[in-house]
């Protein structure tokens, strides 16, 4: 039932409530039994063990577990006792499962935070008597008194009100307290922020008093509906999760193909079936980079640490990369794109704009500040209603108002603001028997009370022509989304009544104020657009205000569309999705609308980021590919539903995070490229020897050393590579997936080249240096070339540009990883006791020279590869 659009008498009849005495105790108990308690409920939680076990159903995880199982069985059958590989894989899988379990608790915390927003007890009128009862016992039909400072315990329709205002920003997105009136009817399709005869659960009464009749409790309230949406909405998988799942499937299929091909070739060549099974399985296990999940997790963790230094706290590891894939950023207006601080922008007299520092400007602001309840603290912070704080702050800055002003013009009487009168009046003593009445309020109301107009230091009659000129100025400011108040005054004796005080006034001027954009917001929006990201404003504020700010920030441009919540209600999901990219501003929207907007963008495959700070933002924050909550102004509900928290509530921080995210994804691509090309080189070296019926070029312990030691350090160092300076110049998605833009071809080609170099080293050592049947020198040279060439190859992957252009000193961690890896590799070969453990021998200087020459060859190969890639890219785009 639309209680905001129904006559009160019909509501009393519908809810069977006496408007004076309320419900009886027996009727309240009956309703509590029938309709349930006034609490926020949540869906049944999975136990932590169940959540933990569900993490093992991921395809990549299943592949790794299969690899660990096969590796374990192989070790048992062969009697080698080599369990390092399966143990390492299990540790990695368990670590990732623990991270996934922690993430799944996020949504439950959001609902728990909603529950905490309800107060333990509330005042009701039952049987004609006021009493306090537990909030959970409130039922529809109860009468609840409202006064400044109290939290509303349920959704309710106002019966009476006096200067009542409610802080609803967390629920509606409205940036200033909402004025409430009991004697009005609202349209049936009005959004919650426009229902001025209703109050809602979990909002605060900031001023005034009133009485209301409860219409909805528990999960039927607006905040209850939001809790239902949080429970129902599923957080989508992040782009990185999707890409890694795809990578896992590719690697799994590749491993099976390797197994099948090698086993089949071996059987055709007459090798024993068991031997062929062991060899094929060993190579297939070697094809899977078991360190990949650990490296990705560590790279993401480094990204989390880096983002924290840039005022963005990440609650969900994959979210670090998700931002880099963002194609759309849906941002709240107030406090994110704007400063969330009403500021005086324009002063006008009866015909023109005037300076804040002119004598007329100082006088206008001083009178506006005297006729307000906002106060400036000793710390220079203004406390009070936002518009009044804006006037008082501007008056202080103008130099015409100071702390002694209020003492010099002592207030002796006042007529407070009322939503019906739309004005406030204060009376100040000028001398023993002389008083000044100052009135501020809505210009269209105040102008009717004026008979004169201030002209410099004199006063003139207020003609109809001047009235029209003043209203034209007012309309012009309103068109610029200004909030405007008019100021008038009257000098004389002490007024005897409100009517006496507010008649025969002299018009002083107009004060235009607004919530200005953040200084960095416009440049951040420009960077978004250059990066191919569409910025969208979603706000609970009025459409005129929203479009004006969006136009100032270049979010809204010629040809763009803006829509209100009411207009969205008239569109089907299909219609909205079809035209969603033509919209840049959404105003006066509800939580349901925000979720619909996010889903509409996602239907196009667009990775969508959403910012928000209120309870009303929580469902959309959860539904978005990445939810960004505000750290300063955000509610606990929004923070718990989000993936990332912006500690400075600043839109430009989101754009910085996008840049970091893109850099992190590039680093993950580099590590995967490095690990897979290295593994392919290892497999091909062993596979080629097998096909040619040669002795094994690598011992099992040597493969393990390369995989667990030499591979890991450069991979981690590549994960800390600084983002290229031009990374935000590319459109979103231009970098492709993990294997996009020729990456798969490059991985295979580079892996084959490293394998060929290693096999060449084996052949040289076996033919020219080995004297017996055991090719120990050839195996040692293979071991050295395979390891050192991979270390050298890591420098090639730092950038898509030439290594001779970027240099080798841009990443100190990679240099450290190279030196450590090279020293360790040379040590296990050059120290006899270590060489024996690693089935190697000490090499001679000439053998080391051959090893070093072959190890440097990947640089020339990749440089040629980059040169050809650049040539074909320029040719494709018509630059040659």
C-alpha span between 233 and 316 (Å, rounded)? 17
**CA pair distance 192, 415, nearest whole angstrom:** 30
Length of the chain: 880
**Are 610 and 620 spatial neighbours (Cβ–Cβ below 8 Å)?**
yes
Give the 3-state secondary structure of residue 180.
Answer: strand
Task: Report whether 21 contacts 67 (CB < 8 A).
Answer: no
Q: Which of 226, 154, 166 is nearest to 593 (CA)?
A: 226
Pairing assessment for the beta strands 608-612 and 328-331 based on DSSP bridges? parallel
Backbone angles phi, psi at 577, to 5 degrees: -65, -35
- Quickly list DSSP for 715-749: HHHHTTPPPPTTGGGSPTTTT-STTTTTHHHHHHH
Q: Pairing state of beta strands 423-429 and 458-461?
A: unpaired
Does residue 480 have an active-site annotation? no
**Separation between Cα atoms, residue 521 and residue 553, nearest integer Å:** 7
Which entry of 142, 155, 332, 711 is annotated as an active-site residue?
Answer: 332
Placement of tokens 């640089």 in the chain: 859
Name residues whose C-beta falls within 8 Å of residue 17's C-beta, 6 or more positions apart in sequence: 23, 141, 142, 143, 213
Give the 3-state DSSP-derived string for 196-223, with helices as H, strands as E and coil as C.
CCEECCCCEEEEEEEEEEEEECHHHCHH
- Cβ-contact 648, 628 below 8 angstroms: no
Is residue 376 helix, strand or coil? strand
Q: Where are the beta strands (DSSP E) in 373-468?
A: 375-376, 382-383, 411-418, 423-429, 435-441, 450-455, 458-461
Residue 1 CA to residue 330 CA, distance in Å, equals 32
Check residue 432 and report its DSSP letter.
Answer: S
Sign of CA dihedral 860, 863, 869, 871: negative
3-class DSSP assignment, residue 558: coil
Phi, psi of 328 (to 5 degrees): -140, 135
Among all residues, which ones are annotated catalytic? 332
């Amino acid at each position: 039932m639309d209680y905001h659009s129904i006559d009160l008498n019909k509501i009393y009849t519908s809810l069977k409530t006496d408007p004076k005495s309320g419900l009886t105790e027996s009727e309240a108990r009956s309703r509590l039994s029938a309709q349930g308690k006034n609490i926020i409920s949540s869906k049944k939680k999975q136990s932590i063990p169940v959540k933990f076990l569900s993490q093992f159903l991921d395809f990549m995880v299943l592949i790794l577990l299969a690899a660990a199982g096969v590796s374990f069985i192989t070790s048992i059958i062969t009697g080698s006792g080599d369990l390092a590989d399966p143990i390492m894989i299990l540790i990695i899988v368990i670590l990732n499962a623990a991270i996934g379990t922690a993430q799944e608790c996020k949504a439950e915390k959001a609902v728990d935070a909603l529950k905490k927003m309800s107060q333990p007890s509330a005042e009701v009128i039952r049987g004609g008597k006021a009493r306090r009862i537990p909030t959970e016992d409130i039922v529809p039909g109860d009468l609840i008194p409202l006064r400044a400072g109290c939290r509303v315990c349920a959704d309710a329709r106002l019966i009476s009100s006096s200067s009542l205002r409610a802080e609803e920003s967390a629920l509606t997105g409205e940036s200033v307290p909402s004025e409430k009136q009991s004697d009005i009817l609202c349209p049936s399709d009005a959004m919650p922020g426009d229902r001025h005869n209703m109050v809602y659960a979990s909002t605060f009464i900031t001023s005034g008093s009133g009485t209301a009749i409860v219409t909805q409790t528990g999960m039927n309230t607006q905040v209850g509906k939001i809790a239902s949406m949080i429970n129902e909405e599923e957080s989508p998988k992040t782009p990185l999760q999707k890409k890694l799942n795809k990578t896992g499937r590719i690697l799994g299929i590749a491993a099976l193909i390797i197994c099948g091909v090698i086993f089949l070739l071996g059987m055709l060549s007459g090798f024993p079936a068991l031997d062929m099974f062991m060899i094929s399985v060993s190579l297939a296990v070697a094809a899977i980079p078991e360190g990949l999940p650990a490296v990705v997790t560590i790279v993401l963790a480094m990204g989390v640490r880096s983002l924290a230094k840039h005022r963005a706290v990440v609650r969900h590891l994959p979210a670090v990369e998700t931002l880099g894939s963002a194609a759309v950023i849906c941002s709240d207006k107030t406090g994110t794109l704007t400063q969330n601080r009403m500021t005086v922008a324009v002063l006008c007299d009866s015909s023109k704009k005037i300076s804040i520092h002119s004598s007329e400007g100082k006088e206008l602001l001083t009178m506006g500040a005297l006729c307000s309840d906002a106060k400036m603290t000793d710390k220079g912070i203004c406390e009070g209603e936002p518009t009044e704080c804006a006037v008082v702050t501007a008056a202080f800055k103008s130099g015409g108002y100071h702390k002694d002003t209020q003492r010099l013009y002592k207030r002796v009487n006042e007529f407070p603001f009322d939503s019906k009168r739309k004005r406030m009046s204060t009376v100040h003593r000028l001398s023993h028997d002389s008083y000044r009445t100052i009135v501020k309020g809505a210009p269209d109301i105040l102008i009717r009370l004026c008979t004169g107009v201030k002209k410099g230091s004199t006063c003139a009659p207020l003609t109809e022509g001047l009235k029209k000129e003043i209203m034209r100025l007012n309309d012009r400011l309103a068109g610029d989304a200004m909030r405007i108040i008019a100021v008038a005054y009257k000098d004389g004796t002490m007024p005897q009544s409100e009517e006496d005080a507010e008649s025969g006034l002299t018009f002083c001027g107009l004060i235009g104020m607004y919530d200005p954009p953040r200084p960095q917001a416009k440049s951040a929006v420009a960077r978004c657009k250059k990066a191919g990201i569409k910025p969208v404003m979603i706000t609970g504020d009025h459409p005129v205000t929203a479009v004006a700010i969006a136009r100032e920030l270049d979010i809204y441009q010629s040809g763009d569309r803006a829509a209100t919540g009411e207009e969205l209600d008239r569109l089907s999901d299909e219609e909205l999705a079809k035209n969603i990219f033509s919209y840049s501003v959404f105003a006066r929207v509800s939580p349901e609308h925000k979720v619909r907007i996010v889903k509409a963008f996602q239907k196009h495959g667009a990775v969508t980021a959403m910012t928000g700070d209120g309870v009303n933002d929580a469902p959309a924050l959860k539904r978005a590919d990445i939810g960004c909550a505000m750290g300063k102004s955000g509610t606990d509900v929004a923070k718990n539903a989000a993936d990332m928290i912006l500690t400075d509530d600043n839109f430009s921080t989101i754009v910085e995070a996008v840049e970091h995210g893109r850099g992190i994804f590039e680093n993950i691509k580099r590590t995967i490229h490095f690990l897979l090309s290295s593994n392919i080189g290892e497999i091909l070296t062993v596979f080629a020897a097998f096909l040619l019926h040669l002795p094994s070029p690598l011992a099992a312990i040597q493969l393990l050393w390369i995989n667990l030691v030499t591979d890991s350090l450069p991979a981690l160092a590549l994960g800390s590579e600084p983002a290229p300076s031009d990374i935000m110049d590319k459109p979103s998605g231009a970098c492709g997936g993990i294997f996009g833009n020729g990456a798969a071809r490059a991985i295979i080609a580079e892996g084959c080249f490293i394998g060929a170099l290693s096999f060449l080293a084996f052949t040289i050592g076996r033919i020219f240096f080995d004297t017996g049947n055991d090719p120990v020198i050839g195996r040692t040279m293979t071991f050295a070339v395979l390891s050192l060439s991979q270390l050298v190859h890591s420098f090639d992957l730092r950038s898509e540009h030439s290594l001779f252009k970027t240099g080798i000193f841009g990443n100190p961690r990679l240099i450290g990883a190279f030196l450590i890896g090279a020293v360790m590799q040379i040590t296990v070969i050059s120290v006899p006791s270590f060489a024996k453990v690693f089935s190697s021998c000490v090499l001679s200087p000439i053998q080391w020279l051959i090893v070093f020459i072959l190890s440097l060859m990947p640089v020339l190969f990749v440089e040629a590869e980059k040169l050809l890639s650049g040539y074909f890219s320029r040719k494709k785009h018509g630059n040659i």
